[in-house]
Amino acid sequence: LFLPWPMRVVPTDTFSYVSYFGGLAIVDYSDPTNLTVRNSTGVPGEFPVGLAVRNRTVYLTMEDDPRLLIFDVSDPDNPSTKELFTHTFLSAIVIDSFLVAGSFGSVEVYNIADPNNPAEIASLQSSSAGVNYYVHSIAVDDSSIYLGTIDEGVFAVDISNIAMPVL
């Protein structure tokens, strides 16, 4: 299966969601010997670097476009864009009913229990001594998230209380 410059892959039950150069693909892998693209849609930016999935909602961030796209993929053959946030997010991860999104200088936490009404519940500045860190990747483990930055390496953030993350 060829997709130009795949950047992120998030597998779920029988689908994988793949961000690639200029787009988002929904790949059916129910038969691993015959991967099938159920749908592919273009996105405003060329570099969709942040990809997170919760239930049948896909969250996509782009390095070169200041929006967070939210897709309803209940019908994998006909996904629809649900929401656009105007904010430059570079990375995203879903933890239970929360979306954690990284950007240039901050990490934002949204309650996405109702995907039609995401609500920001916390913001953490990822800066030190006036230097903003470019949060390019986020990983989670137990009660911590790890922020991969371009400029300053990796930082651990305590999210035991996700509404009050501590760097």
pLDDT digits (tens, 9 = 90+) for 33-85: 999 999 999 988 788 888 999 989 999 988 787 778 889 999 999 999 876 66
Give all strands (DSSP E) within the chain, no chain letters: 8-11, 15-20, 23-28, 36-42, 50-54, 57-62, 65-72, 80-86, 89-95, 98-103, 106-111, 119-125, 127-128, 131-132, 135-141, 144-149, 153-158
Q: What is the pTM of this model?
A: 0.81
pLDDT at 130: 56
